[in-house]
Amino acid sequence: MINWSFAPDKTPDSSEIPDKIQVNVESKSALLALVADCLHNKQGFTIATLNLDHIVKLRHSDQFFQAYRRQTYVVADGNPIVWLSRIAGRRIELVPGSELVKPLTAVAAKMDTPVALLGATQETLGKAADALMATYPELRIVARIAPPYGFDPEGVEAQECVDELAKSGARLCFLALGAPKQEIFSVNAAESLPHCGFVSIGASLDFIAGTQTRAPRIIRKLALEWLWRMLSNPRRLAYRYGACIAVLPELIVQAVRAR
């Protein structure tokens, strides 16, 4: 079940695991401030970006649900989440995961925080790293890890990734594994690496590397990025977005009741 409330002024205590999923950071500026504070204090964290696809997956995977409820920070990655929150009487901002990498990288570069990229392919990681370092010359990328196809976020290969991150000294790790793998990996890795922050970002590195093309700005402003993506790959995405649309009526009723 989703709780549409949020607590922007509260830093969640790791010992307090919520019973429901909630957006607990209301804006990108608030998230950047929280991350900067964590990095300054050498405190680990995890960040998840909630969208309708995640909600559908949460309903069918207890493993995903348990990982999500252990996330330190959750932001709204999708206009429907923002709209539903407003129906429930809570105003939050849209914070797409694809728009988090560069501002978080800027924070890391300014604070001399070593960064790791995990996920995607070696080609994508190389191009994304080059693009980020060209934009932020002071940035230190200390690890580029591309797990094999069929990566199990709780298997032996996951532990090997954790070991490699530990050796690299990374304090901020961007996870481009896709949901639910990245969220599951993040909470497990955070237990072994308590001074590292993990940010689940989906296909964001592909956008930065240029291996995938994001929807034009006007399409995003019209809240039609989902349609752009579906039309670009209908065979893979039509069912996914159909399931998202199907769950909306129930979520609207839930949001109205929460108000």
pTM for the model: 0.90
pLDDT digits (tens, 9 = 90+) for 145-196: 999 989 999 999 999 999 999 999 999 999 999 999 999 999 999 999 999 9
pLDDT digits (tens, 9 = 90+) for 34-66: 999 999 999 999 999 999 999 999 989 999 999
* Count of other CB atoms within 10 angstroms of residue 231: 12
Question: The domain 2-209: what is its CATH number?
Answer: 3.40.50.10700
pLDDT digits (tens, 9 = 90+) for 22-39: 899 999 999 999 999 999
Sign of the torsion formed by the C-alpha atoms of 135, 136, 137 and 141: negative
Point out which residues pair with 50 in neighbouring strands.
Answer: 76
Question: What is the longest distance spanned by two Cα atoms in the chain?
Answer: 50
Domain ranges of the chain: 2-209
Q: What does the pLDDT read at residue 11? A: 44
